[in-house]
Chains A and B, each alone.
Chain A
Amino acid sequence: MERAWKEKAIKLFFVSTASTSILIVLSIFVFLGKEGGPFLAEPGADELIGTRWIPVSFQKESYGILPLVAGSALVTVLAMILTIPFGVGAAVYISELARPIEREILKPFVEVLAGIPSVVIGFFGLVMLVPIIKWCFSLSSGLTALAGAMLLGLMAIPTVISISEDAIRSVPGSYKAASLALGASRMQTIWCVTVPAALPGIIAAVMLGTGRVIGETMAVMMVTGNAAVITASPFESVRTMTATIAAEMGEVAFGSDHYRALFCVGIVLLLATFVLNMVAQRVLKRYRMG
């Protein structure tokens, strides 16, 4: 009798720990909505869809988040362009071509890369990468979207490698055997059979990597220069959504328009990562079932 009760209590404990994350996600959405929502009523949503972000001004404050969205988008796209060849290439090598001893050496390093704190990566970027970029492209300043993208790529690569590697590894051996038996070379088999078969998993890996890239703050804030301009050039300074929140939240007057605008930026950011994660999970699930 008592045992059954105990069992129930333990089960309840585990259920509650497991569902905490759902509760937290929901309450974050509610909280952001509550703090940011009033901005949509006053001064209104069209204020948000402006091209100027000037939160502190003696003339007129503007809270247009388009430059911030554009900044985040540019840095993310650039980061993914850099990450995909590196990540997928490394995954193919580790899972298909590397000898066991090479794999033993490569894998721990990938994991170490995943564990480096972002502020350390940012510091490395500011002191090493920014001057190199400035020198390589003879720019007036190395504080550019490209610098941010390269650091973010560095952070996304481990995610992309480990999930892609998983996907490539779980391609049935019979596919490869059939391909080789038909006279295809090893490289032909990899590029025409294995990688296409693992493609949904690789796509999911890239999406999860993108999620990490969009949400990353510290490293980006240190190297992108944070000028709120809309640009498609990797050699210009951009201001990301995350850096804006991190830089401005500390000093903003509680309940002011600026405060609410920052929460709206937070909502946009959360929605973006949420959608990416959902889609990635979907893709991954379908692929595993298939």
Chain B
Amino acid sequence: MANKKTTIVRVTVVVVLTCAAFTMIGGCSKRGEQGQDRFITVKGSDTMVHLVSNWAEAFMKKHPDIEVSVTGGGSGTGIAALLNGTTDICAASRKIKDKELMLALEKNVHPYEMAVAKDGIAVVVHPDNPVDKLTLEQLSKIFTGKTMRWSDVGGPNEEVEVLSRESSSGTYIFFQEMVLNKQDYMQDAKLLPATSSIIQSVSSDKWAIGYVGLGYAVAASDKVKIVPVKKDDSSPAIMPSDETVKSGAYPIARPLYLYTSGQPKGTVKDFVDFCLSAEGQQIVKETGYVAIN
């Protein structure tokens, strides 16, 4: 029962009581005897905060004596924290950079990489739009404002209406990095405050184009048309789906990683294993991402 004192305020009375009950039954006492951590921290990618929080919640429900604290701040912040030893796990929506890896080895930290989920972004247009494939380069030109008309990409002679998420969105930055090659979005792009507004606008504006997370696009596929994307002129147009994102065929996708310092051990390993378990991967799907295996 001693752990009750250390639990964070967020835990409700109900959870505390369940926790107490479990401890008394002995479900978790073994862990305590082994002297493992009861408190682990996950820090990093803002894109992943929602996902990791869902994992943490489910994990804490199964292991009531363990507290998992989840914070965002960005992948870079997370990796820095891992190197400085201020977090147990780093959540990153990109691979660790060479520079960071060298810095890690200097500090005698050996980052251990685990891909735990995949994230795909679907490009959506109005159902009546005849354009049925776009290359990454065409997308880049459309969103940076170099292509202004649909006729330039095989559609009718109509002006493209570019819709984007707000700049605070992780998807905005991901799309900017992956598709726009880190160029700025065009100034005339409409920045909408939510994914639902993008779906709403694309479904009513005939010549609009926008991007949303795969999960949302599939859920709204009766209102909008998902455009298959070609990596370059010669490659085939790929429709985003769980399979194509998983296999890497769909180009606007990225793996999401967890990094630990060295191979995960103890509670950290339990948590990572949980994320990769069938139950953890089910949470991945429910949160709107693609399961890794």
Contacts and interface: CB of A to CB of B under 8 A. Distances in A.
A252 interface: yes
Contact of B191 (A58, A227, A252): A227
A56 B206 contact: no
A239 B191 contact: yes
- Chain A interface mostly helix, strand, loop or mixed? loop
Contact of A247 (B173, B176, B193, B206): B193
Given A59-B182, A248-B166, A222 B197 contact: yes
B152 interface: no
A126 B196 CA distance: 11
A193 B107 CA distance: 84
A237 B190 contact: yes
Nearest to B207: A140
A226 interface: yes
B189 interface: yes
Of B177, B191, B193, B205, the most chain A CB neighbours within 10 A belong to B191
B204 A134 contact: yes
Contact of A229 (B167, B182, B183, B188): B188
Contacts of A225: 190-192
Interface in B190-224: 190-193, 197, 200-201, 204-208
Contacts of B167: 55-56, 247-248
A221 interface: yes
B172 A56 contact: yes
B46 interface: yes
Nearest to A51: B187
Interface in A237-276: 237, 239, 247-248, 250-253
A179 interface: no
Contacts, number: 81
Interface string A41-57: 00000000000101111
Of B158, B176, B182, B200, the most chain A CB neighbours within 10 A belong to B200
A248 B173 CA distance: 13
Interface in A137-181: 140-143
Given A222-B193, A226-B166, A251-B46, A237 B184 contact: no
Interface string A63-95: 000010000000000000000000000000000
Interface in A104-140: 126-127, 130-131, 134, 140
Interface string A218-239: 0001100111110000000101
B65 interface: no
Interface of A: 52, 54-59, 67, 126-127, 130-131, 134, 140-143, 221-222, 225-229, 237, 239, 247-248, 250-253
10 contacts: A56-B167, A56-B168, A58-B176, A59-B183, A142-B204, A142-B205, A221-B193, A237-B190, A247-B168, A251-B46
Interface of B: 46, 74, 158-159, 161, 166-169, 172-173, 176-177, 182-185, 187-193, 197, 200-201, 204-208
